[in-house]
Amino acid sequence: MSIIVQLLINGIMAGSIYALIASGFSLIYSVAKFMHFAHGSVVTVSAFFLFLLVGILKFPFALGAILTVVFGALLGLLINLVCYKPLRNRKATNAVLLIASLALFIFFQSLMIALFGADIKTIRRGAISTGINIFGGIITELQIIIVIVSVVLLVLLWLFMKKTKIGKAMRAVADNKEVAQTVGINPEKIYNITFIVGSAIAGIAAVLIALEQNIEPNMGFSLIIKGFTGSIIGGISSVPGAVLGSYLLGLVENLGIWYLPSGYKDAIAFFLLFIFLLIRPQGILGLKKGVGAK
């Protein structure tokens, strides 16, 4: 019994992290209409930035965290301006943008290895907590904070999209770019804002992951795959869908390794990704907008 509770807790924890990643990724996809694989790099580089500030330069943590989030937002914006925008101007298809994004991902991953080395870094925050016992499962205070922060952030994002003027403009561009232009919305400006918001969330995710787990150059890969998969499962052009899909993925993954060797954890995500792309590419909540058709 307590094993199940522990797996559920682990699943919710994982789901929270994936949801943060997936929400930013899905936000960018729904507005800019392509798969920003390099979103994973934004997380990785931000985490290393945090490590640089807090671990090496010994900044106070709170300051380091805030700077990291800002850094993440700016990095995402920079990627959009330097890499994607010029390609968009050349009418690149979203497949081309995906490939460019993959190249960027590799670039940043290798850059981190070159600058920081391939070994694992950690940011120690006090003694290792023993955690609280809930129905037989253990959860640490930090993990509870992470889940709460994730949920709060996702609610804020939802409110932002629904209630604010900018959020509505973003949804307009996501729905129909040409029509949005006719009412005076500047798509490029909206893309920039979308990247800033999505990447800021990635920055927050980086901070939380750096605290709870480790920092290493490869971390972005696993995260973006999970983010992807969560988005696809829930519905890639729907941010709530991406969140739903992420929690589902977190749960399935953790309950899944009850049966399978734990090394197959990532494979579960790949497998679900593959299956959903084949059978229900629009995801659980998504609309079938000529999926994959060009």
Partner 1 sequence: MIEAYLIHILILICIYIVLAVSLDLAVGFTGMLNMGHVAFFGIGAYTSALLVLAGVPFWIGLIAGAILAGIAGFILALPTSKLRGDYLALATLGFAFIIESFMKNWVSVTRGPLGLPGIPRPSFFGFTISSQLGYLIFAFIVMLICVLLIVKIEKSPFGRMLEAVRDDDVAAKTLGKNVRMTRSLGLIVSAFFAGIAGCLYAHYISFIDPTTFSLLEVILLFSIIIVGGLGSSKGAIVGTIILLILPEPLRFLGFPSSIVGPARQMLYALILLLIIYFKPKGLFGRVQLGET
Name residue, tokens 């080395």. Answer: 117
Beta bridge partners of 121: 215
Residue 91 as a binder of partner 1 (CB under 8 A): the answer is yes
Q: Which of 5, 221, 255, 284 binds partner 1 (CB under 8 A)?
A: 221
Residue 249 as a binder of partner 1 (CB under 8 A): the answer is no
Q: Which of 185, 266, 280, 284 binds partner 1 (CB under 8 A)?
A: 266
Q: Which of 103, 132, 159, 287 binds partner 1 (CB under 8 A)?
A: 103
* Dist CA 51 CA 72 (whole Å): 13
Quick one: which segment of 132-140, 146-154, 240-248, 272-280 binds partner 1 (CB under 8 A)? 272-280
Residue 273 as a binder of partner 1 (CB under 8 A): the answer is yes
Q: Which of 102, 152, 155, 179 binds partner 1 (CB under 8 A)?
A: 102
Q: Give the shortest CB-220-to-partner 1 separation in angstroms.
A: 11
Are 204 and 16 spatial neighbours (Cβ–Cβ below 8 Å)?
no
For residue 73, give every residue at least 6 positions away whose Cβ sits within 8 Å of its Cβ, in sequence order, or none. 196, 197, 199, 200, 203
Name residue, tokens 């052009």. Answer: 237
Q: Which of 1, 127, 183, 278 binds partner 1 (CB under 8 A)?
A: 278
Name which of 23, 10, 256, 218 is nearest 121 in CA terms.
Answer: 218
Q: Give the shortest CB-75-to-partner 1 separation in angstroms.
A: 16
- What is the greatest pairwise CA distance in the chain? 58
Are 86 and 21 spatial neighbours (Cβ–Cβ below 8 Å)?
no
Q: Give the shortest CB-15-to-partner 1 separation in angstroms.
A: 20
Other Cβ atoms less than 10 A from the Cβ of 70: the count is 15
Which residue, 205 or 236, has its beta carbon nearer to partner 1? 236
Residue 20 as a binder of partner 1 (CB under 8 A): the answer is no
Which residue, 183 or 278, has its beta carbon nearer to partner 1? 278
Q: What DSSP character marks residue 289?
A: S
Torsion (CA) 55, 64, 216, 85 in degrees, nearest 10: -140
Site for partner 1 in 113-172 (CB under 8 A): 113-114, 117-118
For residue 161, give every residue at least 6 positions away whose Cβ sits within 8 Å of its Cβ, in sequence order, or none. 27, 167, 168, 170, 171, 239
Residue 60 as a binder of partner 1 (CB under 8 A): the answer is no
Which residue, 169 or 276, has its beta carbon nearer to partner 1? 276
Site for partner 1 in 69-88 (CB under 8 A): 83, 86-87
| 3-class secondary-structure state, position 251 | helix
* Dist CA 199 CA 38 (whole Å): 10
Q: Which residues lie near partner 1 (CB under 8 A)? A: 34-35, 83, 86-87, 90-100, 102-104, 106-107, 109-111, 113-114, 117-118, 221, 225, 228, 232, 261, 263-264, 266-267, 270-271, 273-274, 277-278, 281, 291-294
